[in-house]
Amino acid sequence: MAANNKHIVDFAKIKSTMSDPYKKPVQVIDENGKIVNQELFDTFSDDELVTLMEKMVWERTLHEQTMNFSRQGRLGFYAPTYGEEASEMGIAHAMQKQDFLFPAYRDLPQLIQHGATVEQGYLWSKGHYLANQYNPEGTRSMFPQIIIGAQYVQAAGAALGIKKNGEENTVSYAFTGDGGTSQGDFYEGINFASAFQAPAVFFVQNNGYAISVPRYKQTAAETLAQKGVASGVPSTQVDGMDILATYLVAKEAREFAAAGNGPVLVETLTYRFGAHSSAGDDPSRYRTKEEEQPWFDRDPLIRLRKVLTDKKLWDQAKEDELVEQYKGEFKDAMKKAEAAPAQKVTDFLKTTFETPTPNVQRDIEKYEAKESK
């Protein structure tokens, strides 16, 4: 039989082109503050542009003040958000009050924007149970998930509940980082939501690193957005340093899911400017200045600030005034968090179940007796 060098299936071509549909991230303003999509830019009013800038200034000030508190030993775990303001505030701005939020540990800003208080954010960092007692009418959210990717499964379940309960114009949001897409829960969550065509919007905030592990070592996939295709989930990339593009994509993803079309996966291309956490990892041990500088040049605040300044909608005095206002609010929130009552064993036992099981009830009585002495 003569040799046949013709491929039945050109796997090499498939491999080299399968990421092509996902490699054109949506962008409205480039890293130089230049408007690259005038049609999309014109959908924003001046007031909306200013509001989005104010939210990014709010988040950056929250980060800076929270890091100060952390260095003073006044907080526990904190995951810095410096550099990810456009990704996080763009998405948060698209959320609506009735939506369910399942944040990861770097998503305190979105949680607060969705109805939790800064005080609760600080209590969560301090490991206080009062951090998780949200007003159910004001904050439809779980507390930040520490287990990587687990919130995707939770969000899928909530999305199915939304569908079964017949709630209209409501979606379930979940966030994870690039490292989360290497977890089994990530795939289970998007597959479950897709199988039931449940209204979930999944966000992957690709900041380049899972602690110290670069994205290219986590997966051979050229994009993280393409990971949705195996589960039948429409996916896209967006410039996560461009708050206008991020908001528009998040808004459209929400509308698609809320209309009964099933889940959506959005990868935001962003960057963690600082350490992974306040615990003190040193990014200089796994990143170079040459790698970091182009990302610093893409600073989301700088690019929108330039656009607004050119339109005479923003100036440094206005920004400085906002920063001082926000700092005062955060300092007040920290004082309230530090005034929270000391935790008791019975506080945890009483909030484990709505109705304590017999063994838990026995423990409550046991520890109440000890605590009363």
Annotated catalytic residues are 272, 276, 286
Instruction: Tell which residue, 209, 202, 197, 207, has the closest CA to residue 153.
Output: 202
70, 75, 76, 79 alpha-carbon torsion, rounded to 10°: -50
Taking the C-alpha atoms of residue 87 and residue 70, their distance in angstroms, rounded to an integer, is 23
Taking the C-alpha atoms of residue 149 and residue 182, their distance in angstroms, rounded to an integer, is 9
| 154 touches 145 (CB < 8 A) | yes
| 235 touches 22 (CB < 8 A) | yes
Q: What are the φ and ψ backbone dihedral angles of 23, each rounded to 5 degrees?
A: -100, 20
| 103 touches 110 (CB < 8 A) | yes
Instruction: Tell which residue, 243, 248, 264, 282, has the closest CA to residue 84.
Output: 243
Instruction: Answer left, alpha or beta for residue 260, where phi above 0 means left and psi between -120 and 50 means alpha.
Output: left
Taking the C-alpha atoms of residue 213 and residue 218, their distance in angstroms, rounded to an integer, is 7
Q: What are the φ and ψ backbone dihedral angles of 106, each rounded to 5 degrees?
A: -95, 15
In which order are the strands placed within the sheet that holds 200-206? 100-102, 172-177, 200-206, 264-269, 235-239
- The sign of the torsion formed by the CA atoms of 322, 335, 108, 162 equals negative
Taking the C-alpha atoms of residue 201 and residue 171, their distance in angstroms, rounded to an integer, is 7
Taking the C-alpha atoms of residue 364 and residue 373, their distance in angstroms, rounded to an integer, is 15
Tokens representing 169? 């114009």
